[in-house]
Amino acid sequence: MKRPLIITWICIIGFISIIFTFPAVFSPSVKKLGDFVPALYGFLVAGSFIAYIGLWHMKQWGVQLFLVIFFIKTLFLMSINDYGPGTISGIVFSVIFTGVFLKFYPKMDLNL
């Protein structure tokens, strides 16, 4: 299936957000939260990146991985009591993106 324009745009936004999120992995503020917090946060960022690659190629595993990462990321942000405007807007956008992905999910490729 040819990639719909809306997924292309979502993936571009996702890649741009990853470029800005990645440096936060080793930022002093995240480091202060605990020894393993940057590692966990980093793997969430890497997971998001891989999910967007999957979505770019219209793969079902991309949507599945996106949902898993979104769920863990939300739990992680709640555990550190981060309810800032950035977090809330991130959750809202992720929910909207999920709706779009699920709309096209049945037409996506099942294979890796």
Partner 1 sequence: MNAQIFADSHFVYLICAHLRDINGASNSKFTSNHSFNEDKQFPCNFTSMLFLTLLKESVFFAWHSLAANKLRTFLSLLGITIGIFAIIIVFTIVDSLENNIRGSIQSLGDNVVFVQKWPWTFGPNYPWWKYMNRPVPAYDELFDIQKKTKTAQAVAFRIGGRKTMKYKSNIVENASLAGVSYDYYKIKSFEIQEGRYFTEGEVSAGYNVCILGSKIANGLFPNNPYPIGEQIKIAGKKAYVIGLFKKEGESMLGNTMDHQVVVPYNFARLILDVKSEQSDPYIAVKAKPGVSNAQMIDELTGIMRGVRHLKPMADDDFALNETNLISKNFDVLFDIIGMAGWIIGGFSILVGGFGIANIMFVSVKERTNIIGIQKSLGAKNYFILLQFLCESVFLALIGGIIGLLLTYGITFLARGSIDMEIALTKSNIILGITISVLIGIISGFVPAYSASQLDPVEAIRST
d(CA 6, CA 47): 21
Q: Which of 6, 12, 13, 27 binds partner 1 (CB under 8 A)?
A: 27
**91 sits near partner 1 (criterion: CB under 8 A):** no
Binding flags for partner 1, 47-86, as an x/- string (CB under 8 A): --xx--x---x-----------------------------
**Tokens 């809202």 belong to which residue?**
92
Q: Which of 43, 78, 84, 102 binds partner 1 (CB under 8 A)?
A: 43
| φ and ψ of 70, to 5 deg | -60, -45
**33 sits near partner 1 (criterion: CB under 8 A):** no
Q: Which of 1, 2, 20, 28 binds partner 1 (CB under 8 A)?
A: 28
For residues 78 and 60, is the Cβ–Cβ distance under 8 A? Answer: no
SS3 15: helix
d(CA 111, CA 39): 29
Is the Cβ of residue 81 or residue 111 nearer to partner 1 in the bound state? 111
SS3 content of the chain, % helix, strand, coil (to 5): 80, 0, 20
Q: Which positions lie near partner 1, rule CB under 8 A?
A: 22-23, 25-28, 31, 35-36, 38-39, 42-43, 45-46, 49-50, 53, 57, 111-112
